[in-house]
């Protein structure tokens, strides 16, 4: 898991504001298929937004941290029933990677 500064998290949350949720966690909870889907998306784009269904009884911030731990990513924000996950991917082309601000 990558340690991110506050400035970097703020930058990623700004990008996350303009993106749509690409994964949904339903009433089945955190399944292997969901984790595999998030891993696949993180390998393609580094930043993934996950929507958590209202049918899930577990608090969203706990679920966000559990998903981040299972995928080896960092939870950069969790608001309401949406969380934003980031994991850098060194195999991506440099022009496709997110360029994080330095402290």
Say how many domains are in the chain: 1
> Which domain range does residue 69 map to?
6-86
Q: Which pLDDT belongs to residue 2?
A: 63
What CATH number does residue 34 fall under? 3.30.110.60
Residue 94 lies in a domain: no
Name which residue leads in pLDDT, 57 or 87. Answer: 87
Residue 59 lies in a domain: yes
Instruction: Indicate the pTM of the whole model.
Output: 0.91
Q: Structure tokens of 71?
A: 């995928």
Question: Tens digit of pLDDT for each residue in 59-93?
Answer: 888 999 999 999 999 999 999 999 999 999 988 89
Mean pLDDT over all residues of the chain?
91
Residue 81 lies in a domain: yes
> Among candidates 99, 102, 75, which has minimal Cα distance to 87?
75
Residue 98 lies in a domain: no
E strands, the chain, in order? 23-25, 47-52, 74-79, 82-86
Strands 23-25 and 47-52: parallel
Residue 3: pLDDT over 90:
no
């Amino acid at each position: 898991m990558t340690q991110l500064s506050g400035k970097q998290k703020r930058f990623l949350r700004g990008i996350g504001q303009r993106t749509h949720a690409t994964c949904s966690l339903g009433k089945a909870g955190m399944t292997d298929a969901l984790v595999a889907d998030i891993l696949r998306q993180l390998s393609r784009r580094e930043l993934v937004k996950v929507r958590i269904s209202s049918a899930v009884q577990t608090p969203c911030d706990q679920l966000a941290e559990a998903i981040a731990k299972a995928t080896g990513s960092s939870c950069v924000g969790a608001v309401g029933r949406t969380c934003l996950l980031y994991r850098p991917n060194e195999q991506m082309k440099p022009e496709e990677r997110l360029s994080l601000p330095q402290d």
